[in-house]
Amino acid sequence: MMKTIKTILLLTVVALTTAAFTLKPAAGYAVGDTISDFKLKNVDGDFLSLSDYDDAKGFIIIFTCNTCPYSVANEDRIIALNDKYEDSGYPVIAINPNNPISVPQESMEKMKIRSDEKGFNFPYLLDEGQKVYPRFGAAKTPHVYIVTKNDMKVQYIGAIDNSSRDEEAVTEKYVENAVDALLSSKKIEKTTTVAIGCSIKV
Amino acid sequence: MKKALLIFSILLIISSCKKEVSKTNAVDNSESSWQEVSSVKTVNYNELKPYLEKNNDTTYIVNFWATWCAPCIKELPYFEKIKQEYASKNVEVLLVSLDFPKQVEKKLIPFINKKQLQSEVIFLNDIDENVWIKAIDSTWSGALPATLIYNKNVRKFYEQSFDYNMLETELKTFLKP
């Protein structure tokens, strides 16, 4: 009996310690990999999958969240991306990968508020149970994956542009360049980029 | 009885006053040794680079952080502690802030003063993140916090949070026995 209690206590300590740290997730999709679809709840209450999009040519999937200042600094740019590319067949799909149990500001309720406040023109899904973001290998918010629909292949992974902290200083728009290349059947020049972001909260 | 109550009240007031006074003294003492910071050194990546590749007998711990990054703030005291504990063992700590340029005055400098940070703080202001993140470490996704530990023999990059024990264990692998 004593032993069981000890084991349980030890396990609890281990679990709590693990939860307290943000560790780098195992490597996920690379450019060229085929992704599997997901089904996640949107801020409008409905569940959404990539297969729901009949007319899309592909997707701009962005892991982002309510609280990360880098995500917030990119909100207007994400709205503009959907404005520009939804009609051409590349809608934005935003996914919040954070655990709302450890960070209450990341709850579905708070996501709805943020989506309304900012007037998000794209779905904002919660990765409930945090099963989807590790598959992608998303390490931070914001973290972009561009996927083509016919083959479900990853075409681009990385940053929105080359200046996440200061929008006015942007000189290279990586995501726009990638989608433009896909739309004109050209080769994407930069298929992976990096930018500063917030670690995903487990 | 009334008299006793009065004396008791007076004693109570005096003793509580005393407490207040000693409390203020304690705060004064610690603050007097702190030199208020009014600016922070700002660098671009080329100016930061020499800090990341010094070739001498010191082991450098370079922590990339920001005042808005909760896990960064949580681990900051461990970096401060290790700086103190290992000061005599040729270990230096550098805190590279990735705050927003507009928040240096409003957030970063007040934070340094509030926490009385002992480690050197540098503000990295360079827009081409895609270039310098890869240059600092090819495996870094750009997520904060992140830490580089190096000396002239070994160099390791950690995209993770630390607690004190983990940090000390890692540091020890860099120090000669």
Give me the pLDDT at residue A1, please.
60
Tell me the pTM: 0.83
pLDDT at B98 over 70: yes
- Contact of B141 with chain A, judged by CB distance below 8 Å, is answered with yes
For residue A121, what are its two tokens? 């023109």
Whether residue B22 sits in one domain with residue B54: no
- Contacts for B157 with CB less than 8 Å, ≥ 6 apart: B136, B137, B139, B140, B146, B147, B148
Whether residue B155 sits in one domain with residue B80: yes
Whether residue B25 sits in one domain with residue B45: no
Which one of A22, A190, A193 has the shortest CB-CB distance to B160?
Answer: A22
Nearest-Cα distance to chain B for A161, in Å, is 9
Give me the pLDDT at residue B21, please.
39
Whether residue B58 sits in one domain with residue B3: no
Q: Is the ipTM, as predicted for this complex, more than 0.85?
A: no
User: In percent, how much of chain A has pLDDT > 90?
Assistant: 85
Average pLDDT (A28-57) is 97
For residue B111, the domain's CATH number is 3.40.30.10
Whether residue B138 sits in one domain with residue B101: yes
Q: Are A165 and A77 in contact (CB under 8 A)?
A: no
Residue B143 to residue A171, Cβ atoms within 8 A: no
- Contact of B106 with chain A, judged by CB distance below 8 Å, is answered with no
Measured CA to CA, the distance from residue B128 to residue A93 in angstroms comes to 26
The structural domains of chain A, with segments of one domain joined by +, span: 25-199
Q: What is the dihedral of CA B166, B167, B173, B176, to 10 degrees?
A: -140
Whether residue B123 sits in one domain with residue B75: yes
Chain segment A90-117, per-residue pLDDT in tens? 999 999 999 999 999 999 999 999 999 9
Instruction: Give the CATH architecture of domain A25-199.
Output: 3-Layer(aba) Sandwich (3.40)
Q: Give A-chain residues touching B124 at CB under 8 angstroms.
A: none
| 3-state DSSP percent of chain B in helix, strand and coil, to 5 | 50, 20, 30
Whether residue B144 sits in one domain with residue B60: yes
Please list the residues that pair with B92 across neighbouring strands: B60
Residue B144 to residue A193, Cβ atoms within 8 A: no
Whether residue B106 sits in one domain with residue B145: yes
**CA B50 to each of CA A188, B46, B96: distance values in angstroms, whole numbers, following the listed order:** 34, 8, 13
Domain span including residue B87: 41-174
Average pLDDT (B26-35) is 59
Nearest CA in chain B to A190: B130
Whether residue B165 sits in one domain with residue B92: yes
Which one of B69, B101, B129 has the shortest CB-CB distance to A194?
Answer: B129
Whether residue B11 sits in one domain with residue B50: no
Whether residue B8 sits in one domain with residue B68: no
A 148-167 near B (Cβ less than 8 A): 158-159, 162-166
Measured CA to CA, the distance from residue B6 to residue B26 in angstroms comes to 31
- Contact of A16 with chain B, judged by CB distance below 8 Å, is answered with no
Count structural domains, chain B: 2
Measured CA to CA, the distance from residue B71 to residue A131 in angstroms comes to 22
Read off the pLDDT band of B140 (50, 70, 90). very high
Whether residue B107 sits in one domain with residue B84: yes
Measured CA to CA, the distance from residue A116 to residue A119 in angstroms comes to 5
